[in-house]
Structure 1
Amino acid sequence: MNDISQETIRYPASRILDVAKALSGDVRVRILEALGDKPMSVSQLAETLGVAQPTISINVQTLEQVNLISSTQGANREKICAVTCRSIHLDLPSKLGDGLHQTEEIHMPIGMFSRCSIQPSCGMAGKDGGIIGSQDDPRVFYMPERVDASLLWFADSGYVEYYFANPLPPGVELDEIRISAEVCSEAPAFREDWASDITLTINDLHVGTWTCPSDFGNRKGKLTPERWKSGTEYGMLTEWSISEQGSKINGIASSPTTISSLQLAFNEPIRVRFEIREDALNRRGLNLFGSGFGDYSQDIILSFVRRSVLGT
């Protein structure tokens, strides 16, 4: 028989959506049925349910993320799965914002910008390391294929601007907003001594300018495809943050812009711009990395940290 670790798991209101999504798939419900009496390996589940093993593995991971399944390593390093409870208890939200996580994140692919100002030299590459369109042709930044970009770059001055949805309902107060991205300067091929002033604005307000010291190409990026042979390999993961006390870059004060001054509205986009300004002291371009390039497996992340949760 299955050794259930607990009879009931209780989930707070902030996890309702996670649990609901995990239980919304027919395959995942069938996995729970199959594990009702005894633990099973992934291959046993695949055979029992008549579903391909990679599909079982993906759905098991989803159930693990909400703690409905636990896994151990069996003989021959095979993954053994077991259910963790007999029932679940969901706390319904009782006040505004209860159904949200402490931190809500939006992950934006780097090719999904809404506006740009680009001059050669410039370009984009996909996850396989292949050039999208033609290199040094600004028209590439208006092609539909841009949505598949995992690296984009431009020299000198210019910008890319992204429109983010506001995930929080009116009345939910924020403690902090954070924007993180992997970035670096842009030189022909690459240059270690190539500083560039990278400015981030939100809704046209200056959040901070970070001086990247280099266009990094002295080693292979941890995620950069082998096919890529064009110089720039990785960047630096940089975080801009805004609170009611002002703005910071990597934890260091950068501007007086506050959350209140952004005038965020539930039904209006949040405009985030990465820019090399024409009047920048170090006007040496930008490389912006997506999840398939560089050292960090992420696109642009905009995070909303709720004040009400942090205060509890």
Structure 2
Amino acid sequence: MGDIKEQVQRFPASRIIDVAKALSGDLRLRILEALGEQSMSISQLAAKLGVAQPTITINIQLLEHAELVTSTLGANREKICSVTCRTILLELPTKLGEGLQKLEEIHMPIGMYSNSFVGPPCGMVNKEGAAIGCVDDPRVFYMPERTEAALLWFGGSGFVEYYFANPVPPGVVFDELQFCAELCSEAPGFHPEWPSDIVLFINDHRIGQLSSPADFGDRKGKLTSSKWSGGTEYGLLTTWRVTPEGSYVNEERQTDTTLSDLNLQYNKPIRIRIEVPEDAANCNGLNLFGSSFGDYPQDLVLSFFQIHDVHEEE
């Protein structure tokens, strides 16, 4: 039997959501069952459960984030996974803000945008690399099948806009907002020198610009389907940050937009628009990657940091 670090693991109220999310998936429960008696590699789990290795990897990461599974590197540098405990104890929240995570995250599939404006060339494919609708037909961006998109793209100028819920209730504030996505320029096929200026707006406020240097297709994306032959393979994992002092892109300060400028309210959505503006110096479109395409197993992620209770007594 594999080593189990703790018989009982206690989780504070701030970790309840992490643990609940990890335990809410049938496959993740099956992974915990498989690891109940022995440690196993990713490939062994895939064979035992009859699931593709990338899918196992994504679900193992969720279990690791919740601290229900831990991993080490085996002799062949393959990930060896083990459960961390046999029993968990959850502490329920007792005051305002205590049940929220210090890192609150919302994950949004790339096809779940609420508004868009694109023109040809454009399109989207599912996780198997099969086209959704007709390539270069902007009407595809209004089809219900768009929710299955694993990669979407458009050339030239355009945008996709997403509505995120604000998970922070009245009386609780946070110190930093982050948005993370994998993306790159859009060229015919792919091109190693194809710059595009991709700008993020939150509630119509400009946060900052990623100047993508290329449409990357020089190698296969780590998660990209072998059936996909469209040229673009992976992107750049990019983080936009908004703080009380200003806004940043990958740690580089870009604008003076602050959290207070965004006028975030608990009962109104947070509108995030990813755009290549018409007046951009490099107006060369974008590719946007979902959790099963490119190099990174994640969808769009909006994160809230350092949440605390403003009414907490000193």
SS in 2 for 1:152: strand
Q: Summarize the Cα distance change of 1:171–1:226 in structure 2 as closer, same or farther, 3 Å threshold.
A: same
Q: Distance in 2 between matches of 1:271 and 1:251?
A: 22
Q: Distance in 2 between matches of 1:28 and 1:218?
A: 34
Displacement of 1:95: 2.5
Q: Tell me the residue number matched to 2:103.
A: 103
**Maintained 8 Å contact 1:192/1:215:** yes
Q: Tell me the residue number matched to 1:241.
A: 241
Q: Distance in 2 between matches of 1:248 and 1:81?
A: 37
For residue 54 of structure 1, the aligned residue among 49, 58, 62 is 49
Q: Summarize the Cα distance change of 1:8–1:254 in structure 2 as closer, same or farther, 3 Å threshold.
A: same
Q: Distance in 1 between matches of 2:151 and 2:265?
A: 31
Displacement of 1:8: 5.1
Q: Distance in 2 between matches of 1:191 and 1:212?
A: 12
Q: Tell me the residue number matched to 1:267.
A: 267
Q: Summarize the Cα distance change of 1:27–1:199 in structure 2 as closer, same or farther, 3 Å threshold.
A: closer
Q: Which runs of no fewer than 5 residues in structure 1 stay unpaired?
A: 44-52, 73-78
Displacement of 1:27: 12
Alignment of 1:160-179 (within 5 A): 160-179=160-179
Q: Tell me the residue number matched to 2:141.
A: 141
Supply the AA of the counterpart residue of 1:54.
L
Displacement of 1:226: 1.5
Q: Distance in 1 between matches of 2:83 and 2:294?
A: 37
Q: Summarize the Cα distance change of 1:65–1:256 in structure 2 as closer, same or farther, 3 Å threshold.
A: closer
- 1:179-213 superposed Cα distances (whole Å, 9 cap, x missing partner): 11111111111111111100000000000011111
* Count of residues in correspondence between the two structures: 292
Identity %: 55
**Maintained 8 Å contact 1:40/1:80:** no
Displacement of 1:80: 10
Displacement of 1:294: 1.1
SS in 2 for 1:100: coil
Q: Summarize the Cα distance change of 1:95–1:143 in structure 2 as closer, same or farther, 3 Å threshold.
A: same
Q: Which runs of no fewer than 5 residues in structure 2 stay unpaired?
A: 41-47, 51-55, 73-79, 310-314
Q: Distance in 1 between matches of 2:81 and 2:229?
A: 42
Q: Tell me the residue number matched to 2:76.
A: none
Q: Tell me the residue number matched to 1:94.
A: 94
TM-score between both structures, scaled by the size of structure 1: 0.79
Q: Distance in 2 between matches of 1:240 and 1:282?
A: 19
**Maintained 8 Å contact 1:67/1:84:** no
Q: Summarize the Cα distance change of 1:228–1:172 in structure 2 as closer, same or farther, 3 Å threshold.
A: same
Q: Tell me the residue number matched to 1:302.
A: 302
2:259 is the counterpart of 1:232: no
Q: Distance in 2 between matches of 1:70 and 1:275?
A: 38
Q: Tell me the residue number matched to 1:276.
A: 276
Q: Distance in 2 between matches of 1:291 and 1:176?
A: 24
Q: Tell me the residue number matched to 1:192.
A: 192
**Maintained 8 Å contact 2:39/2:82:** yes
Q: Summarize the Cα distance change of 1:298–1:90 in structure 2 as closer, same or farther, 3 Å threshold.
A: closer
**Maintained 8 Å contact 1:207/1:247:** yes
Displacement of 1:66: 5.6
Q: Distance in 1 between matches of 2:157 and 2:284?
A: 7
Supply the AA of the counterpart residue of 1:259.
L
Q: Summarize the Cα distance change of 1:189–1:167 in structure 2 as closer, same or farther, 3 Å threshold.
A: same
Alignment of 1:281-292 (within 5 A): 281-292=281-292
Between 116-125 and 214-223, the greater mean CA deviation after superposition: 214-223
Q: Distance in 1 between matches of 2:284 and 2:109?
A: 23
SS in 1 for 2:220: coil
Q: Distance in 2 between matches of 1:28 and 1:191?
A: 39
TM-score between both structures, scaled by the size of structure 2: 0.79
- 1:26-75 superposed Cα distances (whole Å, 9 cap, x missing partner): 9999x99xx9xxx74599xxxxxxxxx739xx9x9798876678899xxx
Q: Summarize the Cα distance change of 1:21–1:256 in structure 2 as closer, same or farther, 3 Å threshold.
A: closer
Alignment of 1:118-157 (within 5 A): 118-157=118-157
SS in 2 for 1:14: helix
Q: Which has the larger radius of gyration?
A: 1
